Amino acid sequence: MTNVQATFAATLVDEWVRGGVRHAVVAPGSRSTPLALALAAHDGIEVHVHLDERAAAFTALGIGKASGVPAILLCTSGTAAAELHPAVVEAHQARVPLLVCTADRPPELQSVGAPQTIDQTHLYGRAVRWFVEPGVADDATRGAWRSLAARALLESVGAPPGPVHLNLAFRDPLVGEPGALPPGRADGIAWHSPTMRVEVRHEIAGSRGIVVAGAGAPDLSGAPWPVLADPASGARVPGSIAAFDELLRTGAMPEPELVVRVGDAPASKVLAQWLAALDVPQLAFAGGWTDADRTASIVGDAVPIFTGVPDEGWLQTWRDAEAAAQAAIDEVLGAQRELTEPFVARTVAAHASTLVVSSSMPVRDVEWYAAPRHGLRVLANRGANGIDGVVSTAVGVALSTREPVTVLVGDLALLHDSNALLGLVARELDLTIVVIDNRGGGIFSFLPQASTLDAGTFESLFGTPQDVDIAALAAAHGIATLRVHEPDGLETALEIASTASGTHVVLAPTDRQANVAVHEQLHGAVAAAISSRR
């Protein structure tokens, strides 16, 4: 017997497939049955089932981040829907497309104490591009179903892209066969198509400028100025300025006449402070409203076009400083007898092809110490800058690309997202999880709290000590761990993990206090190298 709810759900899925959607992440539950069955029945959708809603949400986020196409994220009603909120916030702030489908109880079961029923209307507040609550499907609304699905997709991939929330009420019986779907457009095209976007180009002239490139930056291969390139920008290639954080710490770098900022802001606080102190025009493009210090005279989504004659001496000054800094970093890290976090970041970035990096110290160490190279794609959840969902995001990236993926996390970030390991082996992904295990939160050791509080207070409130056996945790999920105890062993472990199929954990223990010391040593070495050139 045909069921109108099943037909409605099948129509949504069919329209999303017409629009290019190829992945769905489903957290199992009862109330979401009609849409779950429709997803499983469509040949155009690859369904990934995850037992944990929070991890499922970040997995869907990773798919959208890697592909630029939203994944369908489905969960049942009640607090399951609330578990999606962190990933929805990240998708909103990082401009990642995502189709969030929360199942809900019908109106007659609202506000009467029915189980697994909460107020899901506008559950994610202003963190979505569009919220829609179409009510329980009936035949009278058939003519709107394809338009509803197509609009949801267009809102998600719009300018800027982001999450869309469909709160879908389903009434018993939840299991049924779909009938004939409302007819779609001819030739399998989507019901609504996006308007053509006109690329705005902004011409910029000057001879002694600086380009600051973050995630989402356009192609900067023709930039005539030094490009201070965050690894996630795609512009950290030979010829760019990778060691900009270390160079700016020296206080010896010359000031530009103009700054062009493209993409998201890099993590470096030193860079942000240097830019804020400059008394020169600054133009911010292609990163939404990325102007925390309110120094940009122009903010927009235009693509910069560089004109004019570059100052070759200006460019060479920065490139010579970059070469000196990279040599100093190599010398310091090459002399280390113990594993250090900068060494791990530099080595992993040199080895990986696609790298997902956790916030906190890993993203900073990759930003500060990853050398320029071709062939590296770096992704990070820098919308809200949280450490939650990092491994799940990497799982989503690997599901989307079906290529080898490496994720660099601290021990706390792994523990925050340990449910990402649920069923991971069965997904048959080539995923290397590099865990920097310093038994706590390493970034806090760099903050004033570390020097102003007594050791006991600091450790309990900020050191966030933990004593979890990460190898045992991985083994509980059937994942092999490669323990690394010295610098030479890291490259070997990465080679083993990359040549053997499947998921591996590479465990790199470090010491938090020693980590602060090696960062200071690196700062001093680069400062000395730059000073010797003057």
**pLDDT tens digits, one per residue of 224-283:** 999 999 999 999 999 999 999 999 999 999 999 999 999 999 999 999 999 999 999 999
**What mean pLDDT is predicted for residues 424-431?**
97
**Whether 529 contacts 327, CB under 8 Å:** yes
pLDDT interval class at 222 (50, 70, 90): confident
- Of 58, 64, 111, nearest to 83 by C-alpha is 58
- pLDDT tops 60 at residue 169: yes
- Of 295, 200, 217, nearest to 256 by C-alpha is 295
- Of 176, 225, 168, nearest to 38 by C-alpha is 176
**What mean pLDDT is predicted for residues 432-459?**
84
**pLDDT tens digits, one per residue of 282-307:** 999 876 777 788 888 878 888 888 88
State phi, psi for 146 to the nearest 5 degrees.
Answer: -65, -40
**CA dist., res. 202 & res. 209, Å (int):** 15
- pLDDT tops 70 at residue 399: yes
Q: Which residues contact 276 (CB under 8 A, 6 or more apart)?
A: 293, 295
Q: What is the pLDDT of residue 183?
A: 96
Q: Which residues contact 309 (CB under 8 A, 6 or more apart)?
A: 207
Residue whose tokens read 């199929």: 501
CA 478 from centroid of its chain's CA atoms = 26
- pLDDT tops 90 at residue 2: no
Task: Give 435 or 197, the one with higher predicted confidence.
Answer: 435
What is the full DSSP assignment across 214-258? -TT----TT--S-EEE-GGGT--STTSB--HHHHHHTT-SPPPSE
**pLDDT tens digits, one per residue of 173-196:** 999 999 999 999 999 999 998 876
- pLDDT tops 90 at residue 466: no
Percent of the chain at pLDDT above 70? 99
**pLDDT tens digits, one per residue of 333-352:** 999 889 999 999 999 999 99
User: Taking all residues of the chain, what is their mean pLDDT, rounded to a whole number?
Assistant: 94
Q: What is the pLDDT of residue 104?
A: 97
Residue whose tokens read 């066969």: 177
**pLDDT tens digits, one per residue of 364-389:** 999 999 999 999 999 999 999 999 99
Q: What is the pLDDT of residue 198?
A: 66
Q: Using CB atoms within 10 A of its CB, is residue 363 exposed (0-12), middle (13-18) or buried (19+)?
A: buried
Read off the DSSP letter of residue 124. T
**CA dist., res. 446 & res. 247, Å (int):** 19
This model's pTM is above 0.85: yes
Look at the chain and count its residues. 534
**pLDDT tens digits, one per residue of 259-268:** 999 999 999 9
In this structure, of 136-145, 406-415, 439-448, 513-522, the range with the lowest mean pLDDT score is 439-448
**CA dist., res. 181 & res. 9, Å (int):** 10
Q: Which residues contact 165 (CB under 8 A, 6 or more apart)?
A: 88, 100, 102, 123, 124, 128, 130, 131, 132
Residue whose tokens read 């080679």: 495
Percent of the chain at pLDDT above 90? 82
**CA dist., res. 512 & res. 519, Å (int):** 11
Task: Give 492 or 308, the one with higher predicted confidence.
Answer: 492
CA 93 from centroid of its chain's CA atoms = 10
**pLDDT tens digits, one per residue of 67-77:** 999 999 999 99
- pLDDT tops 90 at residue 451: no
pLDDT interval class at 400 (50, 70, 90): very high
Q: Directed axis angle between helix 512-533 and helix 312-334, to 10°?
A: 140
**pLDDT tens digits, one per residue of 138-153:** 999 999 999 999 999 9
Read off the DSSP letter of residue 7. H
